[in-house]
Amino acid sequence: MRLRLVPQDTNWDFMQYRHWTFGASLVAMVGAIAIWLIVGLNFGIDFLGGTTIRTDSTQAVDVGAYRDAIAPLELGDVVISEVFDPTFAPDQHVAQIRIQAQEGAESVTPETIAAVEAALQGVDPSITFPSVESVGPKVSGELITTALIAVAASLGAILIYIWLRFEWQFSVGAIAALIHDVVLTIGVFSLLQIRFDLATIAAILTIIGYSINDTVVIFDRLRENLIKYKKTPLIDVMNRSVNETLSRTLMTSGTTLLALVALLVLGGDVIRGFVFAIFWGVIVGTYSSVYVAKNVVLMLGVDRDPKQPDAGTQFGAVDA
């Protein structure tokens, strides 16, 4: 006896509220873009250029005292934040100090870093500096360009693959769903001001791969059903296809989310932004596979010629 997350004969009408869900997706995308433009992203050191110093001490972090100690060095924009993590020891207090790249310099000089460390040790003699990361403005600019190219190239490759694998309507629907996922992820990062760095770009690429995998599974079942049910309305065939793949979708998404929750709680602050991006992406990616990709295909329609006895779709002869 096999365990099933949903009954085998499930027949939920997923497309019943397609207008509301698609409209909500459009509103969410517009809102995400607006937040992005107004608030901006909390870029990490990878994209801004500068230096991040991580401190570790047995004494409680006093952000005000740290700031007062660094202020005489006149380093411009300095962001000091305490880092909390359930894996830290009771007497372990961690802070992160971000110093902007100095004008006319590729990165903060070793002398400046030494001066900052000396100033902080004057406040707390027990303080240590487990890591120091520096990125120059020129390098950070190149990283932004490379990241954009990576995301655009992945979307372009997926567009071509889906077009060849299925048909152009399916390709447009898949890309619309992926753009939806990427925009909402960036919007959430902007709203919550979570650090946006190269790890986040890697997470976005992972989200794209996860989302398109779920979309292709449903598309493949949809193609089979369009051949099998030639005269059934397209919307009914879509509902049938989603119901038939629902157990697989829930099992895959559910087990992935369980692992991600464990990483969010126990993984530490270093990978928290990366894990959160994937966690959020799994949720919106599962949603968009049904309520964005399928909505777009439904609006574009599929050529199904009833005069041809062997034609269920215009791609009916394509080998799976």
CATH architecture group of domain 50-134? 2-Layer Sandwich (3.30)
CATH superfamily entry for domain 18-43+139-300:
Multidrug efflux transporter AcrB transmembrane domain (1.20.1640.10)
- Sorted by where each begins, the domain ranges of the chain are 18-43+139-300, 50-134
pLDDT single digits (tens) 95-123:
888 887 766 555 677 888 888 888 888 88
Q: Using DSSP, state whether 269 is helix, strand or coil.
A: coil
Any bridge partners for residue 282, and if so which?
Answer: none
Name the residue among 108, 288, 99, 275 with its Cα closest to residue 194. 275
Distance of CA 114 to the CA centre of its chain: 36
- Decide if 53 contacts 99 (C-beta within 8 A): yes
Same fold, 18-43+139-300 and 50-134: no
User: What percent of the chain clears pLDDT 90, i.e. is strictly above it?
Assistant: 5
pTM of the model as a whole: 0.70
| Amino acid identity for residue 268 in this structure | G
| Token representation of residue 25 | 């997706």
User: What percent of the chain clears pLDDT 70, i.e. is strictly above it?
Assistant: 85
pLDDT at 48 over 80: no
- Decide if 207 contacts 281 (C-beta within 8 A): yes
pLDDT single digits (tens) 62-95:
888 888 888 888 777 677 888 877 778 888 888 8
Q: At what angle do helices 168-192 and 137-165 cross, to 10 degrees?
A: 150
- Decide if 95 contacts 76 (C-beta within 8 A): no
> Quick one: average pLDDT of 187-211?
84
Going by pLDDT thresholds of 50, 70 and 90, the confidence category of residue 7 is low
What is the pLDDT, as a whole number, of residue 313? 42
